[in-house]
Amino acid sequence: MQYGIGLYTGQVPPGEEIGFRDEYARIIEQAKLAEESGLDSIWLSEHHGAADGYLPSMLPIAAAVLAATKRLVVGTAVLLAPFHNPLRLAEDVAVLDQMSGGRFILGMGTGWRRSEFRAFGADMSTRGRALEETVRILRLAWQGRRFGFEGRVHRIDSAVVRPEPFTPGGPPIWLGGTGPRALARAGRLADGYFGVCTPFDEAMTTYSRVLETVPAERRASFAFGQLRSGFIADDPELGWKIAGRGMTYTMDVHARWAAEEAGDPLPADARLSSEDAVRQYNLIGNPDEVTAALRPYERRFAGRTDSHLCFRLYHPYMPHDTVLEAIQTFGRVIVPALRASAGDEPRLG
């Protein structure tokens, strides 16, 4: 099992004392420390038009992280395919893959906010088709030959992508999503699936549903990724005092977006997430408690270098030094303890 940090969203919420330049610099600094601390990956997230500047452009940040590190894998969880020209995306990702020596995972999804589709002039009713066609175009583009494509959403008359990616055939493509169609799509088309922040048993149930649709010849190598959110502190109540405000802000943002989608916009300053709900969603504990909570993932995926658990330790409003300390604890204490405890448990695949 590989372990990483994220999701990095680049948000600067109201009342924060830093600007976007500082926020992006923190991401780079944390990525470098993650690598130094023995962690394996960093994950970025995309949205558009958010008041707090939620990261709208992940590939420049990905390039900066890759340039600042030597071993760390950068993944997107997820890039919203309907808002990207697939040929342009194929070229950008090929360059990223070359400059990093194959340290990039392209995670993609459909998007779900109507305001974003309106902003890009994209048809929300064909978002699933747009994602599927994007995957197919990328696969063709990364073969190094001239190609054409005729789809319902995208059309390419004749194109060739140069340079080819460093990784033969292109970097891994992972897909996200939660509905039945999204899970089936991931199994049919992708190299891996990136799941949302759910308990282990629920996450494994979802992953099993994805595996049911993976062709038999690819099932053993099909990768798994998941987000877990929380914080590490010797005193969990102190951890809540440090991170709880930012955790609550993050959940409120998504709850407000969901309300907008339902046609019931809420005031920007409304608090929507109860403390109990935030605590339940986030894994807050001392190193032993966090290790115990994450151990099932290591036992299930021991030895799998293609599967990643992404632990979100950086939340809005948090002191930067405290985050850096937590990253070191995760990489130098918790991850070695997890790998040492894998023992002889059966491995997936």
Q: Is the pLDDT of residue 189 over 70?
A: yes
Domain that holds residue 185: 2-248+274-340
Tens digit of each residue's pLDDT (9 = 90 or more) over 271-300: 789 999 999 999 999 999 999 999 999 999
3-state SS, residue 225: strand
Q: Using alpha carbons only, what angle is made at residue 65 by residues 185 and 196, rounded to the nearest 5 degrees?
A: 35
Tell me, yes or no, whether 23 lies in a domain. Answer: yes
Tell me, yes or no, whether 102 lies in a domain. Answer: yes
Tens digit of each residue's pLDDT (9 = 90 or more) over 226-275: 999 999 999 999 999 999 999 999 999 999 999 999 998 877 677 789 99
Q: Is the pLDDT of residue 330 over 90?
A: yes
Contact indicator for 305, 41 with CB cutoff of 8 Å: no
Mean pLDDT computed over 188-203: 95
Tell me, yes or no, whether 262 lies in a domain. Answer: no
Strand-strand pairing, 147-150 and 155-159:
antiparallel
pLDDT-derived band of residue 344, with 50, 70 and 90 as boundaries?
Answer: very low
So what's the pLDDT on residue 270? 73
Q: Is the pLDDT of residue 85 over 50?
A: yes
Tell me, yes or no, whether 267 lies in a domain. Answer: no
DSSP secondary structure of 27-47: HHHHHHHHHHTT--EEEE---
Q: Is the pLDDT of residue 348 over 90?
A: no
Tell me, yes or no, whether 79 lies in a domain. Answer: yes
Residue carrying the six token digits 């993650």: 34
Domain with residue 323: its CATH number is 3.20.20.30
pTM: 0.96
Q: Is the pLDDT of residue 98 over 60?
A: yes
So what's the pLDDT on residue 41? 98
| Alpha carbon distance 5, 144 (integer Å) | 33
Tell me, yes or no, whether 263 lies in a domain. Answer: no
So what's the pLDDT on residue 347? 41
- Cα distance between the two ends of the chain: 13
Backbone φ, ψ for residue 35 (5° rounding):
-65, -45
Give, for 240, the enclosing helix (H) or strand (E).
Answer: helix 236-261
Mean of the per-residue pLDDT values for the chain? 95
Kindly state the greatest CA–CA separation across the chain.
60
So what's the pLDDT on residue 343? 59
Mean pLDDT computed over 103-131: 98
Mean pLDDT computed over 306-325: 97
Tell me, yes or no, whether 202 lies in a domain. Answer: yes
So what's the pLDDT on residue 341? 85
Q: How many distinct structural domains can be found in the chain?
A: 1
Mean pLDDT computed over 31-47: 98
Tell me, yes or no, whether 166 lies in a domain. Answer: yes
Crossing angle of helices 86-100 and 127-141, in 10° steps, is 50
Percent of the chain with pLDDT over 70: 97
